[in-house]
């Protein structure tokens, strides 16, 4: 049930909620915005109506406007946002300590607000928030890779894992980079664009984490190692069995400090003309 409510004393009948509803289910009923029960199942749960109301007259899904943040006056400046986006780096050296769980929860909440195709919101955020658990996952993974190496089960397209396994025997963790934490965002593949949904959510997490002083690393080695060599990795991480799209980001307090941004002006830009 949507629980769509209008504070009639605040509503100014501007029609913004009616005009902005993506599925056009809001209409005026006696000059008050309303949603018929028969149309409720068409709601995308985007809550544009609540967000756009200039007087805070609308509540929906039990979300009250007074509990939401005001956008005006609270956005970062252009220079601040540019510094964040240009200054974000892939971190491969982490301090061996836990990040405060309240901070992790805040970052997860921000990531969960990322857009998904059709606003389906089918993602799961599986987080390793304790360094001791992360170490167990790492040890478990390397044991499977070592066994596959001994038994000559490393496929040709994964041959680099022989070198990664040997490096681990020498005390180097190239797969997980000794990161204290890991976030795996997963999705069923029945959605419109599961991998894009995952990437958008992780980008939100990545930038938010950078802004708090954390370091992060999108880790292809980790997802390769887990999915190709650890048969029980979904159970290990609590990933639903039908979630066959996923990607991990390692994160923690960085043990390195970058001093400036760098410009990547070498990527191709093509301006379309007709």
Q: CA nearest 181: which of 84, 94, 87? A: 94
| Fold entry, domain 5-67 | Alpha-Beta Plaits (3.30.70)
Phi, psi torsion values for 225, nearest 5 degrees: -60, -45
| Fold entry, domain 78-252 | NADH Oxidase (3.40.109)
pLDDT tens for each residue of the chain, 274 residues long: 899 999 999 999 999 999 999 999 999 999 999 999 999 999 999 999 999 999 999 999 999 999 999 999 999 999 999 999 999 999 999 999 999 999 999 999 999 999 999 999 999 999 999 999 999 999 999 999 999 999 999 999 999 999 999 999 999 999 999 999 999 999 999 989 999 999 999 999 999 999 999 999 999 999 999 999 999 999 999 999 999 999 999 999 999 999 999 888 778 889 999 9
* pTM across the whole model: 0.93
* pLDDT value, residue 213: 97
- Across 51-191, where does the E strand assignment appear? 58-59, 124-128, 181-187
The structural domains of the chain, with segments of one domain joined by +, span: 5-67, 78-252
Q: CA nearest 56: which of 44, 68, 45, 46? A: 68
């Amino acid at each position: 049930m949507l629980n769509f409510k209008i504070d009639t004393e605040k509503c100014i009948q501007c029609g913004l909620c009616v005009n902005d509803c993506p599925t056009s289910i809001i209409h005026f009923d006696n000059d008050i915005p309303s949603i018929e029960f028969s149309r409720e199942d068409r709601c995308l749960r985007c809550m544009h109506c609540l967000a756009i109301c200039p007087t805070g007259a609308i509540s929906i899904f039990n979300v009250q406007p007074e509990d939401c943040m005001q956008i005006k006056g609270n956005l970062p400046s252009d220079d601040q946002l540019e510094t964040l986006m240009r200054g974000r780096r892939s971190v491969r050296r982490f301090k061996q300590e836990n990040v405060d769980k309240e901070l992790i929860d805040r970052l997860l909440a921000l990531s969960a607000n990322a857009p998904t195709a059709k606003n389906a919101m089918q993602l799961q955020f599986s987080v390793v928030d304790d360094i001791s658990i992360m170490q167990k996952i790492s040890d478990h993974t390397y044991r499977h890779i070592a066994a596959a190496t001994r038994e000559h089960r490393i496929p040709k397209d994964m041959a680099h894992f022989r070198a990664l396994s040997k490096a681990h025997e020498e005390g180097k963790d190239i797969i997980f980079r000794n990161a204290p934490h890991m976030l795996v965002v997963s999705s069923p593949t029945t959605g419109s664009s599961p991998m894009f949904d995952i990437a958008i959510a992780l980008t939100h997490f990545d930038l938010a984490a950078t802004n708090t002083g954390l370091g992060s690393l999108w880790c292809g080695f980790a997802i390769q190692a887990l999915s190709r060599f650890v048969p029980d990795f979904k159970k290990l991480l609590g990933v639903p069995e039908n979630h066959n799209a996923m990607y991990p980001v390692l994160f923690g307090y960085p043990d390195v400090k970058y001093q400036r941004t760098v410009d990547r002006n070498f990527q191709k830009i093509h301006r379309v003309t007709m």
